[in-house]
Amino acid sequence: MQHPPGHLAANPLPAGIVGALGLGGYQLLAEIGGVGAGRLGPQAFLLVAPDPDPTLPDAGTQISLHQPRIRDEAEVSAFTQLAAQIGYLRLSGYKLALERHGLRSKVNLVNPATGAIAVTIPDRAGGRLFGGGVNASRLLPSVRGLPPAGPPPDTQDPELMRQVLLALALRDESLSGAEAAELADRALLLTSGERALDPPAALEAAKKEE
């Protein structure tokens, strides 16, 4: 697995970016497949670990869709759900092509089957000058509408399976991040006991056990 659970916590934003943007002490809200949502006070953003490339130096974790001022908690939830969905698509085979724009990065979701860019996440969110008013809430339907790039992830790998289950659980707006994590853990036990259960079915079964 290229980006195991906890990768972003172990590889935070570089100190130079943190200092320049005033993000010291930011909180990592969620992480799936090397994609996460971060928050500090009124600021929210995506954190993305680039795909490893032996021909290039390690660029380190990068920041995208930086929104300096969020209006309400629904926007924070949208960032968390967007990060989870992008991470889920990456686990299914999508590639994330990052382009530096100053301290931040634009992220292109590339379908490896066609080589086409399916969705572009801008480096900044908000006003018309930066991204044309694009924000996490507006991007979420487009990203959710993308089909997986490949077959379902290996259900025999418990770490990978938990990331998939957590990504799907975070789609439920009625669940907090902690509740989604608990649901994913219960669903993981069901998949280990009944291999026939696919991730959505395992989540539904876990909900009924509450």
Domain ranges of the chain: 7-144, 158-208
Query: Which phi and psi (to 5°) does residue 29 adopt?
Result: -85, -35
Position with higher pLDDT, 131 vs 71: 71
Weakest-pLDDT range from 7-16, 42-51, 199-208? 199-208
Instruction: List Cα–Cα distances, 119 to 94, 130, 134, 181, in angstroms.
Output: 11, 17, 12, 27
Residue 45 is predicted with a pLDDT of 97
Query: What is the C-alpha separation between 16 and 22, in angstroms, rounded?
Result: 10
Task: Evaluate whether 110 touches 98 at the Cβ level (below 8 Å).
Answer: no
The 43-48 sheet, strands edge to edge:
27-32, 35-40, 43-48, 62-67
Residue 29 is predicted with a pLDDT of 94
Residue 198 is encoded by which pair of tokens? 């696919």
Residue 100 is predicted with a pLDDT of 93
Buried b (16+ CB within 10 A) or exposed e, 190-206: bbeeeeebebeebbeeb
Residue 128 is predicted with a pLDDT of 47
Summarize the confidence of residues 24-43 as an average pLDDT. 95
Tell if the pTM clears 0.85, that is, is over it.
yes
The tens digit of pLDDT for each residue in 67-118 reads 999 988 889 999 999 999 999 999 989 999 999 999 999 999 999 888 999 9
Query: What is the C-alpha separation between 150 and 115, in angstroms, rounded?
Result: 13
The tens digit of pLDDT for each residue in 36-60 reads 999 999 999 999 999 887 777 777 9
The tens digit of pLDDT for each residue in 163-198 reads 999 999 999 888 888 899 999 999 998 887 655 678
Summarize the confidence of residues 132-161 as an average pLDDT. 84
The tens digit of pLDDT for each residue in 106-130 reads 999 999 888 999 999 999 986 544 4
Summarize the confidence of residues 59-63 as an average pLDDT. 91
Instruction: Please report the sign of the dihedral spanned by the C-alpha atoms of residue 74, residue 75, residue 80, residue 85.
Output: positive
Residue 131 is predicted with a pLDDT of 44
Instruction: Name the nearest CA neighbour of 153 among 93, 85, 67.
Output: 93
Above 80 in pLDDT, residue 133?
no
Task: Evaluate whether 104 touches 123 at the Cβ level (below 8 Å).
Answer: yes
Position with higher pLDDT, 158 vs 28: 28
Residue 149 is predicted with a pLDDT of 84
Above 80 in pLDDT, residue 203?
yes
